[in-house]
C-alpha cells in the first residue's frame, strides 16, 4: 500500500519508515500540506499519516480539505498529535479516522496501521457488495440479461418516450422451441448453458441500445424503440438465424439442436391507451402462434 507521510520530525519519520517498510508498504513523503494535496490528487494513495505538531496541517485545514475534495475512494487518515482536541471528536466526518499520541511507539503504530488497513478493506468489500446487489437487482444472474423487473421499468420508460414523440415501438418475444425436451434429455445444467448461449446470441444480433431481458424461464424480450413491422421482423429473423447457426455440442460430441420462435407486437403509434402489459400479452400470443405453425419462425401482430 502507498502511504503518504506528512511529518517533519526526523526521528519520528525514521520510526514510521521502519514500521511501514517491515510491513511491505511504500512511503510517499511530503513536507507540507500543499505538496501532500498534490500527491493525493494523483491518486492511488489510500492511507495518510500526518503529524499535527511539526507540519502546517491545522493552519491549512489539510484534513478538512481532503474530506471536502470527496475523492472516488476513501482516504484513511491517522493523525499524530500531542493530545486530541474537542473538534477532532465532534466533527468525525471532517476529521481524522484515528489518533496516535506522541512520542510514537512502534508497536502502537503497527497496531494502528493494522486497524486502518482492516477498515479500508471492509469499506472496499461493502462497496463491492453494494455493487453486486445492485447488479443482482437489475440483471438475471444466469444469462446476464435484464431481469423481468428491470425490463418492465425500462420498457415503460421507452413506451412513455414513444407516446410523447408519437413514434413507433415494437416488442419481440423470443422463446426456445424445444427447451423442455433439452432439459428432460440432457439435464438442467445443459439447459442453463443453452439459456446463456441464447442470451448472448440475442444481444450480439440486436442493437447495443435495445433492451434484452430474460422475462421468464426460456422466454426473452427485446424492446425496439422507433422500429415497426418489417424492420422488427428483420431483427427477429437475424436473431433466429444466429441461433440456428450456433453449434452446441456435449463433451461426447452429441449435438444439441436449438431453435427459437419469435412473436412481435408492433405499434405504429403509441396512444394514450397503450400500456406495456398489452404489448407483452400480444407478443406472447404471437410467439405461441409461431410455435403452433411449426416453430423457428416469426409471427407479427400489429396494434
Contact indicator for 246, 258 with CB cutoff of 8 Å: yes
Cis peptide before 83 (omega within 30 of 0): no
189 is catalytic: no
**Secondary structure element (H or E) that encloses residue 221, with its range:** strand 219-225
Residues 6+ apart with CB under 8 A from 188: none
Local structure of 112: helix, strand or coil: helix
Task: Record the cell numbers describing residue 171, joined without a space.
Answer: 416488442
Residues 6+ apart with CB under 8 A from 63: 50, 57, 77, 79, 94, 95, 96
Contact indicator for 78, 42 with CB cutoff of 8 Å: no
Contact indicator for 188, 229 with CB cutoff of 8 Å: no
The owner of cell 512502534 is: 106
- The catalytic residue among 88, 218, 231, 252 is 218
Positions marked active-site: 218
Amino acid at each position: 500500500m502507498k502511504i503518504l507521510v506528512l511529518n517533519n520530525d526526523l526521528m519520528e519519520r525514521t520510526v514510521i519508515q521502519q514500521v511501514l517498510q517491515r510491513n511491505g508498504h511504500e512511503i510517499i513523503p511530503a513536507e507540507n500540506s500543499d505538496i501532500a494535496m498534490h500527491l493525493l490528487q494523483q491518486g492511488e494513495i489510500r492511507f495518510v499519516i500526518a503529524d499535527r505538531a511539526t507540519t502546517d496541517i491545522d493552519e491549512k485545514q489539510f484534513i478538512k480539505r481532503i474530506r471536502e475534495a470527496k475523492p472516488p475512494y476513501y482516504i484513511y487518515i491517522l493523525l499524530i498529535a500531542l493530545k486530541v482536541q474537542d473538534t477532532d471528536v465532534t466533527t468525525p466526518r471532517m476529521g481524522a479516522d484515528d489518533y496516535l499520541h506522541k512520542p510514537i511507539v512502534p508497536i502502537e503504530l503497527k497496531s494502528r496501521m493494522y486497524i486502518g488497513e482492516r477498515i479500508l478493506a471492509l469499506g472496499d468489500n461493502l462497496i463491492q457488495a453494494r455493487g453486486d446487489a445492485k447488479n443482482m437487482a437489475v440483471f438475471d444472474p444466469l444469462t446476464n440479461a435484464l431481469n423481468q423487473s428491470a425490463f418492465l421499468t425500462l420498457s415503460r420508460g421507452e413506451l412513455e418516450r414513444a407516446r410523447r414523440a408519437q413514434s413507433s415501438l415494437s416488442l419481440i418475444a423470443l422463446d426456445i422451441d424445444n427447451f423442455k425436451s433439452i432439459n428432460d434429455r440432457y439435464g438442467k445444467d445443459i439447459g442453463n448453458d443453452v439459456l446463456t448461449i441464447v442470451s448472448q446470441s440475442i444481444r450480439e444480433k440486436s442493437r447495443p441500445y435495445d433492451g434484452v431481458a430474460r422475462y421468464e424461464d426460456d422466454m426473452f424480450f427485446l424492446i425496439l424503440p422507433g422500429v415497426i413491422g418489417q424492420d422488427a421482423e428483420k431483427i427477429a429473423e437475424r436473431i433466429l438465424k444466429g441461433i440456428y447457426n450456433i453449434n452446441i455440442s456435449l463433451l461426447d460430441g452429441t449435438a444439441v439442436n436449438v431453435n427459437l420462435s419469435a412473436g412481435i407486437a408492433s405499434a405504429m403509434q403509441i396512444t394514450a391507451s397503450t400500456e406495456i402489459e398489452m404489448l407483452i400479452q400480444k407478443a406472447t400470443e404471437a410467439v405461441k402462434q409461431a410455435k403452433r405453425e411449426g416453430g423457428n419462425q416469426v409471427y407479427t401482430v400489429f396494434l
